[in-house]
Amino acid sequence: MKKRTLQQKKRILRDLNVARDQVGLPTMKGTTRHCLKCSRPFFSMGSWNRLCESCSSVIQKRDDVVETYRVGHP
């Protein structure tokens, strides 16, 4: 996952808000938050976004390596 600059994130948020306004949804306000994993400040697009991009990418990489196995009768 490529890291986005603050300027790119703000542009994405602006474009999302234009679309949200067209369908009557309230605007999203980005703010600086502290990552729940590493405690570093980062630009968050909403209250659901509590992990910085670095910590999120580590978790996503870990999820890609899930082993599958069978349970029950063959």
Spans of all domains in the chain: 6-62
* pTM for the model: 0.62
In Å, the largest CA–CA distance within the chain is 54
* pLDDT at site 53: 86
Q: Minimal CA–CA distance to 48: which of 25, 19, 28?
A: 28
Q: How far apart are CA 30 and CA 2, in angstroms?
A: 20
Condensed to tens digits (0 to 9), the pLDDT of residues 7-65 reads: 998 899 999 999 999 999 999 888 999 999 999 999 998 888 899 988 888 776 665 55
